């Protein structure tokens, strides 16, 4: 099972007390969002300044979201497609990061359930964004969990734990299992798996980015080198003329031209190096990992 984008988005809106308007099985997820969430997701600072200056109560924004590109919304509905690379999804991730990067949850059992007195084992869940960055960026959501007693790892752990009812209300401490693995050791184990996960990607994206970078650098060198060759030739001609002539008004003028051309060559070389550095920064393939939530979860 892979990281479920629609599941994450729906859980986010439930957590921020939004009003769900659509049916559970509807292909379009409609939700009315509170004002504080609206400010984080819609980026309308001037609108909010105006509304607040008048002391008015704004009309809550309703979002219509689809997670499948095959969904065909009605003509009168402004529906957004949510993907890993969509701006709206990135805003949701950033909002979730600001609201609660670290949390603690417990598996819930009804009071009369046979499992209500079960010992809950501690797990650490980390959700992160893995970005393959070059001239184009590919984002992948990765969820990793670890049992803090056995050290067993679980990929796509978020999807698994959200299948169970969870609560922020802690049971009696006697029902909470104690970790036998330190937090630092758990992070180290997870880092090793994360490195392995990254190496599992097809590296064609990096090879293509490197190829594009070399082509771009070649074009930059060709553009500047042609100008530098012409200027250097002019500079050499003036240098030779100065060596063959005595001091005169003409040589003073040629000295001035010599200085101007030398400065122009220095400037072009500087621009050339700067442009090449910019291309290397833009095209060089690299991987960035951004954790956006970390949760201690106690489960059976």
Per-residue pLDDT reduced to its tens digit, 41-67:
887 878 888 888 888 888 888 999 999
Answer whether residue 143 shows pLDDT above 60.
Answer: yes
According to the model, what pLDDT value does residue 32 have? 93
Q: Go through the chain and tell me how many residues it has.
A: 300
Provide, rounded to the nearest whole percent, the portion of the chain with pLDDT above 90.
31
Mean pLDDT of the chain, nearest integer: 86
Q: Token pair for residue 272?
A: 């050339």
Q: Report how far residue 90's alpha carbon sits from residue 52's, in angstroms, rounded to the nearest whole number.
A: 26
Q: Report how far residue 242's alpha carbon sits from residue 234's, in angstroms, rounded to the nearest whole number.
A: 12
Answer whether residue 177 shows pLDDT above 60.
Answer: yes
According to the model, what pLDDT value does residue 244 have? 62
More confident residue, 76 or 112: 76
Per-residue pLDDT reduced to its tens digit, 178-228:
999 998 899 999 999 999 998 888 888 889 899 999 999 999 999 999 999
Per-residue pLDDT reduced to its tens digit, 250-283:
677 778 888 888 899 999 999 999 999 999 988 8
According to the model, what pLDDT value does residue 253 have? 77
According to the model, what pLDDT value does residue 268 have? 92
Answer whether residue 246 shows pLDDT above 60.
Answer: no
According to the model, what pLDDT value does residue 1 have? 41
DSSP the chain: ----HHHHHHHHHHHTT-EE-S-TT-SEEEEEE-HHHHHHHH--HHHHHHHHHHT--PPPEEEEEES-TT----TT--EEEP-TT-HHHHHHHHHHHHH-SEEEEEE---TTSGGGGPPBEEEEEEEEEEEEESSSEEEEEEEEEEETTT--EEETHHHHHTTS-EESS---GGGBPPPSS-HHHHHHHHHHHHHHHHHTS-THHHHHHHHHHHHHHHHHHHHHHHHHHHHHHHHHHHHHHHHHS-SSHHHHHHHHHHHHHHHHHHHHHHHHHHHHHHHHHHHS-EEEEEEEEEEEEEE-
User: How far is the CA of 12 from the CAs of 7, 70, 166, in angstroms?
Assistant: 9, 23, 14
Answer whether residue 229 shows pLDDT above 50.
Answer: yes
Encode burial over 176-208: b for 16+ CB neighbours within 10 A, e otherwise: ebebebeeeebeebbeeebeeeeeeeeeebbee
Answer whether residue 294 shows pLDDT above 70.
Answer: yes
Q: Report how far residue 298's alpha carbon sits from residue 147's, in angstroms, rounded to the nearest whole number.
A: 10
Per-residue pLDDT reduced to its tens digit, 9-42:
888 898 888 999 988 888 999 999 988 898 888 8
Q: Report how far residue 76's alpha carbon sits from residue 69's, in angstroms, rounded to the nearest whole number.
A: 18
Instruction: Calculate mean pLDDT across residues 95-110.
Output: 80
pTM of the entire predicted model: 0.61
């Amino acid at each position: 099972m892979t990281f479920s984008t629609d599941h994450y988005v729906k859980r986010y809106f439930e957590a921020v007390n939004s009003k769900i308007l659509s049916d559970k099985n509807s292909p379009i997820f409609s939700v009315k969002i509170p004002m504080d969430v609206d400010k984080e997701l819609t980026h309308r600072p001037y609108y909010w300044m105006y509304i607040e200056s008048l002391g008015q109560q704004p009309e809550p924004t309703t979002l219509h979201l689809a997670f499948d590109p095959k969904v065909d919304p009605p003509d009168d509905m402004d529906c957004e497609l949510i993907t890993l690379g969509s701006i709206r999804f990135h805003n949701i991730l950033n909002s979730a990061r600001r609201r609660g990067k670290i949390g603690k949850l417990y598996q819930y059992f009804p009071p009369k359930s046979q499992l209500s007195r079960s010992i809950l084992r501690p797990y650490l869940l980390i959700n992160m964004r893995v970005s393959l960055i070059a001239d184009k960026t590919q984002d992948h959501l990765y969820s990793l969990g670890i049992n803090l007693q056995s050290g067993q790892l679980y990929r796509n752990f978020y999807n698994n734990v959200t299948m169970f009812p969870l609560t922020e209300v802690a049971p009696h401490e006697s029902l909470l299992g104690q970790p036998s693995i330190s937090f630092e050791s758990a992070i180290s184990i997870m880092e090793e798996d994360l490195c392995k996960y990254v190496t599992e990607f097809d590296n064609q994206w990096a090879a293509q980015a490197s190829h594009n970078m070399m082509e771009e650098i070649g074009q930059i060198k060709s553009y500047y080198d042609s100008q530098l060759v012409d200027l250097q030739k002019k500079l050499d001609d003036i240098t030779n003329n100065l060596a063959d002539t005595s001091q005169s008004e003409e040589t003073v003028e040629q000295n001035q031209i010599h200085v101007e051309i030398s400065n122009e060559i220095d400037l072009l070389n500087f621009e050339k190096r700067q442009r090449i550095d910019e291309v290397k920064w833009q095209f060089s393939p690299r991987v960035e990992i951004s954790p956006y939530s970390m949760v201690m979860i106690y489960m059976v």
